[in-house]
Each structure stands twice: as structure tokens, then as C-alpha cells.
């Protein structure tokens, strides 16, 4: 065998060895790629169980007087005395403005005298009738005169009583637009009286919230950072406000010293019936394709599914939500990188309930 043939044979063998080593390397790479394909995304999950959650509905509110009344004059006349100053406390029936009596007391005495005369005339007519000396017409006229005299006396009494414009209930004189010497007419305002004990707290509830409220339900009122307990819901509207679409909610709270004022911003907290809910980390909540709140959960075959939730409360440990089954495996870490139906490799963490 000459040198050329030996050289060609050696070159051929070298090529065969080189191709063989390449096939082995490619086979190893395929095995390695196969192993990568079979690996799953690692996520952290925790067991979550339903628990009773005592809900509190919080609404923005304002304090209002329980009652506010314009106290009007029923007579015309000059104001002769001011009996209550603006901003002063006043009892029910206490006078605010005094109207000059003029001749009204004299009219009352005249009406009383006329009544006495009509009474005597009627009694005399009855005696004459019993003796057969009086007609039925005369008796009827005497009776009518007596009734007119009683009416005139009653009218005179009312006029003298109305000389003093009085408070219809205990409260505070918010304003008094008249002074001594002013002339007042029937229907003109003497003062405005507001009742601040109890104090009314007014708020607006949404369509979803109003159905969870009940009359006389206990409530708390927060004013300037201070909490006042003992309030009760006193009114729930049945018709929504046209502008705000909210339903008016009113509560009454004690204000014995009338230290709390009307028109102050407040917060109305109402305890609602407890419901079954899950306490989950706020970080596990995602935004769904339709703008709704969702969480990722792990199914029995270790595949991922999305579930819609509704937030009903907050606490230091997380968010209270409904919409999940009684027991669920919640994805708490890695939920942003997985999709529905994907198989994952879970690692368990400590539950919030523990």
C-alpha cells in the first residue's frame, strides 16, 4: 500500500471519528433540552380557609341639627323686649320675643265681661221658657249670643298668649333677626331655634350598601379623630338622590352638653352582619382583563386558575374578600408570571390564619 492510499485512509478515519463525536454531543444536548422543557415555574402558595368576618360599613357624613325651626310671630305689633339672645340655650316654652300688648289685655277683659253677660241672659231665657214666657226663637238667639261670647273670649286669650313668641322645643337660638322697636307681622320670623341634642349625622349610602343597613342598627361616629359610640340609625331613604345616586342615611347620637356642632365633617361606621370570607395578602390580588379583581389559585392537578373576588374589608394582616370556595390554595408569589391552565411547581408558605 503506497503512501497516498495510507494518507487517504487515515483522513477518512479522522472524518468518521469527528462526525461521531458530534452526534454524541448533539444527543447529550437533546437530553438536556428535554429536561429543561419538563421543568415547571416555581410559585409560592398557601392554604386559605373561610372565616367569619364582622364587616364595618364606613361612610363620609356631616353632623346636622335634629330639628331646625323658624319661630314665627302670630300677631302684629312692635317688639317690646328680647327674652333670649343669639347663641343662648333655651328651654321648651321659653319666650324669645315679646310683642307690645297695646290694648289686647283690655280686649280680653271686655270679652270676659261680654261672656258673663251672655251667660246671664241665656240662663234667664231658660227660666222664662220653663214658665212659658219665652219663645224657642228667643232661646236660640240667647244660646247663639253665648257661643259668640265664648269664641271672642277665647280669641282674646290666644292673642294675649301669643304676645310672647316661644321656643317650640329645647335648643339653641341660632339667629334672631329682630330687635326692640322692630315692627313684626304675622308669619314674620322672630328667631331660628336648632336642636342639637340628640345630634343628627347624615351620610349617603350606595345602592349596594343600603340593602345591608337596618333601622336602629348601632353605629359609631368619628369627629375630628374622636370616636363616639351609642349612635343608632334613625332613617334609611327609599329613593336615591337624583344628583349623587346615593341613598340618605341618618343616625342620632347623644349630645347632652351640646358641645358638638352641626355642619361638621364626620365618619359614620355601621356594623354589618358577619359573612364568610378569606383573609389574603393584598399583593396576591391582580387586575383581570375586564378590570375586575382576581387571584390565582392552584387546582388539584397543580394547574393554575383565576378566580374573581370582591373586597369587603381591610385589616393589618391583609384584605378580606369573598368569591372563593371554602378551602383554596392561593398563589402568593409568582402569580404575575403564570397563566391559567399552566402546570407549576408549588412551594408552601405559612397561612395568614396561623
Per CATH, domain 41-53+275-348 is 2.40.420.20:
yes
The predicted pLDDT at position 195 comes to 95
Place of cell 390564619: 353
The predicted pLDDT at position 9 comes to 64
pLDDT of residue 199 exceeding 80, the answer is: yes
Domain with CATH 2.40.420.20 in the chain: 41-53+275-348
Q: What is the pLDDT of residues 316-352, one digit of tens each?
A: 889 999 999 999 999 999 888 888 999 998 888 765 5
The predicted pLDDT at position 12 comes to 66
The predicted pLDDT at position 4 comes to 62
| Mean pLDDT for the stretch of residues 303-323 | 90
- Biggest CA-to-CA distance, the chain: 183
- Phi and psi at 214, nearest 5°, equal -140, 145
pLDDT of residue 48 exceeding 70, the answer is: yes
User: 24 falls in which pLDDT band (50, 70, 90)?
Assistant: very low
pLDDT of residue 110 exceeding 80, the answer is: yes
3-state secondary structure of 263: coil
C-alpha–C-alpha distance, residues 163 and 80, integer Å: 10
| Mean pLDDT for the stretch of residues 91-114 | 93
Q: What is the pLDDT of residues 208-223, one digit of tens each?
A: 899 989 999 999 999 9
Beta bridge partners, 90, equal 171
C-alpha–C-alpha distance, residues 173 and 166, integer Å: 11
Spell out the SS3 assignment of 304-344.
EEEEECEEEEEECCEEEEECCCCEEEEEEECHHHCCCCCEE
Domain with CATH 2.40.30.170 in the chain: 57-64+195-271
C-alpha–C-alpha distance, residues 305 and 330, integer Å: 10
pLDDT of residue 8 exceeding 90, the answer is: no
Beta bridge partners, 56, equal 271
pLDDT of residue 36 exceeding 60, the answer is: no
CB 294 within 8 A of CB 308: yes
The predicted pLDDT at position 289 comes to 85
pLDDT of residue 96 exceeding 80, the answer is: yes
Q: What is the pLDDT of residues 137-165, one digit of tens each?
A: 788 888 899 999 999 999 999 999 999 99
C-alpha–C-alpha distance, residues 260 and 256, integer Å: 9
Q: Average pLDDT over the chain, rounded to whole?
A: 87
CB 345 within 8 A of CB 337: no
The predicted pLDDT at position 350 comes to 62
- 98, 99, 100, 104: CA torsion to nearest 10: -120
CB 344 within 8 A of CB 47: no
CATH number for the domain formed by residue range(s) 57-64+195-271: 2.40.30.170
The predicted pLDDT at position 14 comes to 67
Work out the percent of the chain whose per-residue pLDDT is above 90: 65
pLDDT of residue 198 exceeding 50, the answer is: yes
The predicted pLDDT at position 30 comes to 44
The predicted pLDDT at position 11 comes to 63
Q: What is the pLDDT of residues 52-86, one digit of tens each?
A: 998 889 999 999 999 999 999 999 999 999 999 99
Amino acid at each position: 500500500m503506497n503512501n497516498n492510499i495510507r494518507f487517504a485512509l487515515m483522513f477518512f478515519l479522522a472524518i468518521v471519528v469527528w462526525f461521531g463525536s458530534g452526534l454524541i454531543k448533539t444527543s447529550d444536548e437533546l437530553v438536556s433540552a428535554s429536561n429543561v422543557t419538563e421543568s415547571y415555574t416555581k410559585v409560592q402558595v398557601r392554604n386559605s380557609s373561610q372565616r367569619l368576618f364582622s364587616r364595618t360599613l364606613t361612610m363620609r357624613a356631616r353632623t346636622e341639627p335634629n330639628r331646625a325651626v323658624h319661630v314665627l310671630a302670630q300677631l302684629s305689633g312692635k317688639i317690646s323686649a328680647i327674652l333670649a339672645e343669639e347663641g343662648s340655650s333655651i328651654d321648651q316654652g321659653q319666650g324669645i320675643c315679646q310683642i307690645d300688648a297695646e290694648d289686647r289685655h283690655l280686649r280680653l277683659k271686655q270679652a270676659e265681661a261680654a261672656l258673663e253677660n251672655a251667660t246671664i241672659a241665656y240662663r234667664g231665657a231658660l227660666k222664662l221658657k220653663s214658665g212659658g214666657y219665652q219663645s224657642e226663637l228667643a232661646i236660640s238667639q240667647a244660646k247663639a249670643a253665648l257661643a259668640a261670647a265664648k269664641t271672642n273670649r277665647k280669641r282674646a286669650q290666644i292673642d294675649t298668649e301669643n304676645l310672647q313668641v316661644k321656643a317650640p322645643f329645647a335648643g339653641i337660638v341660632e339667629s334672631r333677626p329682630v330687635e326692640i322697636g322692630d315692627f313684626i307681622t304675622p308669619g314674620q320670623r322672630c328667631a331660628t331655634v336648632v336642636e342639637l341634642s340628640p345630634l343628627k349625622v347624615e351620610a349617603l349610602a350606595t345602592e349596594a350598601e343600603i340593602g345591608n343597613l337596618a333601622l336602629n342598627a348601632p353605629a359609631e361616629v368619628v369627629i375630628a379623630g374622636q370616636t363616639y359610640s351609642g349612635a343608632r340609625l334613625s332613617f334609611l331613604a327609599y329613593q336615591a338622590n337624583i344628583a349623587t345616586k346615593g341613598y340618605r342615611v341618618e343616625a342620632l347620637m347623644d349630645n347632652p352638653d351640646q358641645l358638638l356642632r352641626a355642619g361638621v365633617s364626620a365618619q359614620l361606621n355601621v356594623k354589618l352582619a358577619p359573612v364568610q370570607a378569606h383573609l389574603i395578602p393584598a399583593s396576591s390580588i391582580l387586575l383581570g382583563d375586564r378590570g375586575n379583581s382576581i387571584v390565582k389559585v392552584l387546582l388539584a392537578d397543580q394547574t393554575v386558575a383565576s378566580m374573581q373576588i370582591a373586597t369587603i374589608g381591610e385589616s393589618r394582616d391583609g384584605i378580606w374578600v369573598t368569591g372563593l370556595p371554602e378551602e383554596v390554595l392561593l398563589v402568593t408569589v409568582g402569580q404575575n408570571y403564570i397563566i391559567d391552565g399552566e402546570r407549576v411547581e408549588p412551594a408552601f408558605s405559612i397561612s395568614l390564619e396561623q
